[in-house]
Amino acid sequence: MLNKVTRSLLTVPGAAVLALLSAALPAVADDTEIYQAEYEGGSTGARPKVLIAFDDSGSMSTQVEQQRPAYDSSASYATSVSADRIYWSTDGSVPSANSSNWFSASQNRCASSYDDLDDNGRYGVERARRWIDSTVQQG
């Protein structure tokens, strides 16, 4: 009889503990809680200037098929521009093939441009200098 009473007394608290544990386990937060949370500021009262963006849309794992392939300096590309010319612009836009903004690649004396031109096909700087040969007529 004592065994039956003890068993029934232990069953009720055991069921309550089990219910509390199972209720606490599936705690899932919605991402909107991040955006709508109230800031409990420190002594200055200033709000932080931080934005953390989590992309959970699934598109981040999608392979984009139309990505531009990397430049290959050893490949031969069909184009109307001459490979013996280095084209330049003053506004950052790409000059057209019939542009007069070019100089012969054999005249390039900018050592810092060699690797970028060979690896990427372009060299971008904010300022450049030119060397005017005394035998060249200026017009």
User: What pLDDT score was predicted for residue 8?
Assistant: 64
Q: Are 86 and 101 in contact (CB under 8 A)?
A: no
- Helix H, strand E, coil C: the string for 93-109 is CCCCCCCCCEEEHHHCC
Q: Is 79 domain-assigned?
A: no
Q: Write phi, then psi, for 7 (nearest 5 degrees).
A: -60, -40
User: Is the pLDDT reported for residue 139 higher than 50?
Assistant: no
- Provide CB contacts within 8 A for 128, sequence distance 6+: 88, 110
Q: Is 58 domain-assigned?
A: no
Q: Is 17 domain-assigned?
A: no
pLDDT band at 98 (very low <50, low <70, confident <90, very high): confident
Q: Is 45 domain-assigned?
A: no
60-62-68-73 Cα dihedral, nearest 10 degrees? 90
Q: Is 38 domain-assigned?
A: no
Q: How many domains does the chain have?
A: 1
pLDDT band at 2 (very low <50, low <70, confident <90, very high): low
Letter string b/e over residues 24-62, b meaning 16 or more CB atoms within 10 A of that residue's CB: eeeeeeeeeeeeeeeeeeeeeeeeeeeeeeeeeeeeeee
Q: Is 60 domain-assigned?
A: no
Q: Is 16 domain-assigned?
A: no
Question: pLDDT tens digits, residue range 50-97?
Answer: 777 877 777 777 776 776 777 777 877 777 777 788 888 888 788 887
CA–chain centroid gap for 71, Å, is 19
Q: Provide the domain limits for residue 99.
A: 85-120
Q: Is 110 domain-assigned?
A: yes
